């Protein structure tokens, strides 16, 4: 028989499941501990009035990772879309 899990917050069930599926256990615990601490009022260096500070840092981290991913790509010569060299 398959075990049935009951969630207190159905709104956060899917995001928690997504994190649990994509992150290793140690990273999942780290992220959920931060989420819980934020819920309990820990500011983590953000000013109480600075409601956009964390959102700005979230976007900045996302852009930084995207840039790192793009910079790791290499150009392959001779592909379908490469420019032909004139001899």
Contact predicate 28/15, CB 8 Å: no
Euclidean distance between the first and the last CA atom of the chain, given in angstroms as a whole number: 71
Contact predicate 31/23, CB 8 Å: yes
Residue reference for tokens 């256990």: 25
Per residue in 52-83, pLDDT tens?
998 999 999 999 999 998 888 777 777 666 66
Per the structure block, which two tokens stand in for 28?
Answer: 């999942």
Q: Provide the whole-model pTM.
A: 0.67
Domains of the chain, by residue range, sit at 10-71
Per residue in 29-49, pLDDT tens?
999 999 999 999 898 999 888
What stretch of H or E contains 30? helix 25-39
Under 8 Å CB-to-CB from 13, ≥6 apart: which residues? 7
């Amino acid at each position: 028989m398959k075990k049935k899990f009951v969630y207190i917050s159905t709104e956060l069930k899917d995001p928690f499941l997504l994190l649990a599926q994509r992150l290793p256990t140690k990273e999942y615990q780290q992220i959920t501990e931060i989420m819980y601490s934020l819920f309990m009022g820990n500011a983590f260096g953000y000013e109480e009035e600075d409601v956009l500070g964390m959102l700005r840092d979230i976007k900045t981290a996302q852009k930084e990772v995207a840039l790192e991913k793009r910079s790791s790509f290499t150009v392959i010569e001779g592909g379908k879309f490469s420019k032909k060299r004139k001899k």
